[in-house]
Chains A and B, each alone.
Chain A
Amino acid sequence: MSEVDMAVIKPEMMKSYIWLQTADGSIQQVEQEVAMFCPMICHEVIQKGMGSSKNYAISLPQRVNPAMLSLILDYCRFHQVPGRSNKERKSFDEKFIRMDTKRLCELTSAADSLQLKPLVDLTSRALARIIEGKTPEEIREIFHLPDDLTEEEKLEPLKNTTDDPRIRLLNRLYAKKRKELKEREKLKNVEVEEERVDDRSVDDLLSFINGDNGDSKGIKTSKSKKKNRRRKDQQKSTSANEANKNHSEESNGLNSLCHSSEVGQKIRPSIGATSNLQDVEDDIFANKNEFDDGDIDDEIDPALKEKLDREVEDFARRLNSDWPERMQEILSLGQERKAVHFPLNGNGSIRSRDDFKVRILPQLSSEPGQF
């Protein structure tokens, strides 16, 4: 049949189509007015005369796979109609970009390669909204990005100025504990005397403390607690690994003075306006803290929990003070704890089982020099 005959019999076939070929080799034809909405296709048709038949299909850029092409054509099909109101277009756009992040990224990339600027703007804005306010971990999770920055390369965190010095303290403890584990492994291999007094006497000190506090469970408990704590440390560390690293990084980076004043510095400016980035830091810590409490519940019964918390604080003091001062303090520790009442910190959201921690920590904050 000649083309003219075909035209008479099937008038709808007069509609002109553009042939497009995606990177995977598949070829499809698209209504001309829809396809020409894309500048890149328009250019190919007008400047190079491509797309008029299957043999001369326009090769689309690699970033445009069939699924993306279909999405883009949907977009073009809607927007190329001149009679639509702005409201209609906006409403279409809002519904259009509701897809998972991965597809959104692919769509942005594909639209960019076709030079379809309105769609690139739309998808870019959507992606920008997704990123806003998220922490690096969350962003990594959403976009499936590798966690391949070293500790130094990651953003040095701001000083945590929330009213929760206990979180900061815990982070630092975990970081130091990890370092200790590392060093202990090295010790086993090399058997070099550790210079740090702390490492040698961890077990001794704990049992000493337990004995001093009149802990009825005795040494056995201390060992199991130690194990628990170590496991707890590790598991806690995993959930907010970067935060820990950041904080060890922070303590390394900012610690030009001795530990004691560092503690004081960080805890003292706890009240006041916080910047958004600090809120971000808070989010990380809040998640971590929840994880903490859940872990504690699983591991130990409430009676032991307080003792464990106490030991965490002691661990902190041990790290942050000199040996002779510490010895003195430990000896007097039992009496101090019973006698003193401290006001709560400014933070309103303190859970009841954490009261004990909060009561202890204000002491740290109010007398930083002691450490």
Chain B
Amino acid sequence: MIAEAKVGSEDLNLCFEKLMMVAAGNSGEGVKMEGMVITEWKDIPMELLLRIVSLVDDRTAIVASGVCSGWRDAICLGLTQLCLSWCRKNMNNLVLSLAPKFTKLQTLILRQENPQLEDNAVETIANFCHDLQDLDLSKSFKLSDRSLYALAHGCPNLTKLNISGCLSFSDEAVEYLTNFCRKLKILNLCGCVKAATDRALQAIGRNCNMLQSLNLGWCENVGDLGVMSLAYGCPDLRCLDLCGCVLITDDSVIALANECLHLRSLGLYYCRNITDRAMYSLAHSRVKNKPSMWQSMKGRYDEEGLRSLNISQCTALTPSAVQALCDTFPALHTCSGRHSLVMSGCWNLTSVHCVCAVQAHCT
């Protein structure tokens, strides 16, 4: 439009004048371009601007926060979710410059394709983003315990933390974190072999009593002591992934069965020590805790119970035990549409079927 073109050239002229002023030493930092702007545009209210910014991608949102002071203030006050996983090279610098601005962030996704994030960035986040609830630092190979200590002090409201793939973290740091971040509900320690030990799990059991989901995949140092402490400390546990935790025995599962009555999803892939005892304990616990007709259904009893179970490579199990389990939990399925009972590599369990599979077969 012609009008806009005029604005453009005015822009240039005024930029030039501004430069001359700078050169003449008139101003210090940042010259105000007074009298230049066409101010007929009545400002979009902050809520509308935030609504528009919520519709654009994260990169544009960041760019928009650097447009003018009005937009910057609105966006810095209103932006609560940010994902920087699209950064290939400069995530660390970007976090360093953005964290002080976006202090109201509640969700921050920093999952990396290639490791970029360093401790100073996480420390900056911890210094400025105290409202943070959901933080994804997965695959941050370069981070050290410093980051966890910083997060402990700076982000006590964390409810969801993903540090899978952060191989350098130690269990001491995780323990320290749990002392401060007691509101954790979802914690992903997949692959954190050094961090996920019995010591850390005991700390989690002590401190994070609201925990609902825990991923301990491929954490080979996890043992019965840790899982049992977890079971006793986190009664609200719903999802637990112990894939690859080869030290686990029946005792862990029995503790979980007795204490975590809301358990919906359990992963025991490659837990070779699991026997029928564990299966029967799960089934028995459900039967035992089913409320009588006169009792209220609310409370500790979870309507559907276990919905997903992975016992692949648990070759010690026998069909009768697993079938009993399948019968007890109506939400466990072996039928093709809703397959949730995974038994790969268990050749002797091929006869186990869920109710619907049998029905389909019969009709």
**A interface residues (Cβ-Cβ under 8 A, vs B):** 63, 100, 102, 105-106, 108-109, 112, 120, 124-125, 127-128, 131-136, 139-156, 158-159, 161, 178, 181-182, 185-186, 189, 234-235, 237-239, 241, 253-254, 269, 272-278, 280
Question: B48 and A145: CB pair below 8 A?
Answer: no
Known: A127-B52, A136-B66, A280-B59. A146 touches B33 (CB 8 A): yes
Question: A148 and B68: CB pair below 8 A?
Answer: yes
Further 18 A-B residue pairs, CB within 8 A, beyond A102-B41, A272-B88, A277-B87: A106-B42, A109-B48, A128-B56, A131-B53, A132-B56, A136-B67, A140-B68, A141-B8, A143-B41, A148-B69, A151-B29, A158-B89, A158-B90, A181-B22, A235-B16, A254-B93, A274-B88, A275-B87
Question: A155 and B16: CB pair below 8 A?
Answer: no
Tell me the minimal C-beta distance from A357 to chain B in angstroms: 24
Known: A112-B45, A146-B68. A139 touches B63 (CB 8 A): yes
> How many angstroms from the CA of A276 to the CA of B56 in the assembled complex?
13
Question: B23 and A178: CB pair below 8 A?
Answer: yes
Give A146's nearest chain B residue, CB to CB: B37
Interface status of B30 (Cβ within 8 A of chain A): yes
Q: Which of B22, B40, B59 contacts A275 (CB 8 A)?
A: B59
Question: A147 and B68: CB pair below 8 A?
Answer: yes
Tell me the minimal C-beta distance from B233 to chain A in angstroms: 42
Q: Which of B23, B86, B93 contacts A185 (CB 8 A)?
A: B23
> How many angstroms from the CA of A137 to the CA of B29 in the assembled complex?
18
Interface status of B12 (Cβ within 8 A of chain A): yes
Interface status of B19 (Cβ within 8 A of chain A): yes
Chain B residues with Cβ below 8 Å from A158 are: 89-90, 93-94
> How many angstroms from the CA of A239 to the CA of B93 in the assembled complex?
26
Query: Interface SS of chain A: helix, strand, loop or mixed?
Result: helix
Interface status of B65 (Cβ within 8 A of chain A): yes
Chain B residues with Cβ below 8 Å from A241 are: 15, 18-19
Known: A100-B1, A132-B57, A277-B63. A144 touches B72 (CB 8 A): no
Interface status of B232 (Cβ within 8 A of chain A): no
Interface status of B71 (Cβ within 8 A of chain A): yes
Tell me the minimal C-beta distance from A326 to chain B in angstroms: 26
Q: Which of A100, A112, A275 contacts B48 (CB 8 A)?
A: A112
Known: A178-B19, A275-B87. A144 touches B39 (CB 8 A): yes
4 nearest CB pairs, A to B? A150-B30, A155-B66, A128-B55, A238-B15
For this complex, 24 residue pairs linking A to B, each with C-beta atoms less than 8 Å apart, are A63-B42, A128-B52, A136-B63, A139-B63, A141-B11, A143-B67, A144-B38, A144-B39, A145-B41, A146-B33, A146-B69, A148-B33, A150-B29, A151-B29, A152-B29, A153-B72, A161-B89, A182-B25, A185-B23, A185-B24, A237-B15, A238-B12, A241-B18, A275-B59
Question: B63 and A159: CB pair below 8 A?
Answer: no
Tell me the minimal C-beta distance from A84 to chain B in angstroms: 25
Known: A234-B19, A238-B16. A145 touches B62 (CB 8 A): no
How many B residues, CB 8 Å from partner?
A: 57
Question: A277 and B59: CB pair below 8 A?
Answer: yes
Chain B residues with Cβ below 8 Å from A143 are: 41, 67
> How many angstroms from the CA of A182 to the CA of B57 in the assembled complex?
39
> How many angstroms from the CA of A125 to the CA of B48 in the assembled complex?
11
Interface status of B44 (Cβ within 8 A of chain A): yes
Give A183's nearest chain B residue, CB to CB: B25
> How many angstroms from the CA of A226 to the CA of B63 in the assembled complex?
36
Question: B97 and A155: CB pair below 8 A?
Answer: yes
Q: Which of B24, B41, B65 contacts A105 (CB 8 A)?
A: B41
> How many angstroms from the CA of A185 to the CA of B8 in the assembled complex?
30
Give A105's nearest chain B residue, CB to CB: B44
Chain B residues with Cβ below 8 Å from A276 are: 57, 59, 86
Chain B, 43-82, CB within 8 A of any chain A CB:
44-45, 47-48, 51-53, 55-57, 59-60, 62-72
Tell me the minimal C-beta distance from B31 to chain A in angstroms: 9
Known: A185-B25, A269-B89. A145 touches B70 (CB 8 A): yes
Chain A residues with Cβ below 8 Å from B47 are: 112
> How many angstroms from the CA of A158 to the CA of B29 in the assembled complex?
21
> How many angstroms from the CA of A234 to the CA of B20 in the assembled complex?
8
> How many angstroms from the CA of A275 to the CA of B20 in the assembled complex?
34
Interface status of B288 (Cβ within 8 A of chain A): no
Question: A124 and B24: CB pair below 8 A?
Answer: no
Chain B residues with Cβ below 8 Å from A141 are: 4, 7-8, 11
Counting chain A CB atoms within 10 Å of each CB, the highest count among B36, B37, B47, B90 belongs to B90
Give A159's nearest chain B residue, CB to CB: B90
Chain B residues with Cβ below 8 Å from A120 are: 48, 51
Question: B62 and A159: CB pair below 8 A?
Answer: no
Give A127's nearest chain B residue, CB to CB: B52
Chain A residues with Cβ below 8 Å from B20 are: 234
Question: A238 and B68: CB pair below 8 A?
Answer: no
> How many angstroms from the CA of A154 to the CA of B24 in the assembled complex?
23
Q: Which of A133, A148, A235, A253 contacts B60 (CB 8 A)?
A: A133
Question: B51 and A144: CB pair below 8 A?
Answer: no
Chain B residues with Cβ below 8 Å from A151 are: 29-30
> How many angstroms from the CA of A125 to the CA of B64 in the assembled complex?
15
Question: A108 and B93: CB pair below 8 A?
Answer: no
> How many angstroms from the CA of A262 to the CA of B124 in the assembled complex?
23
Question: A140 and B19: CB pair below 8 A?
Answer: no
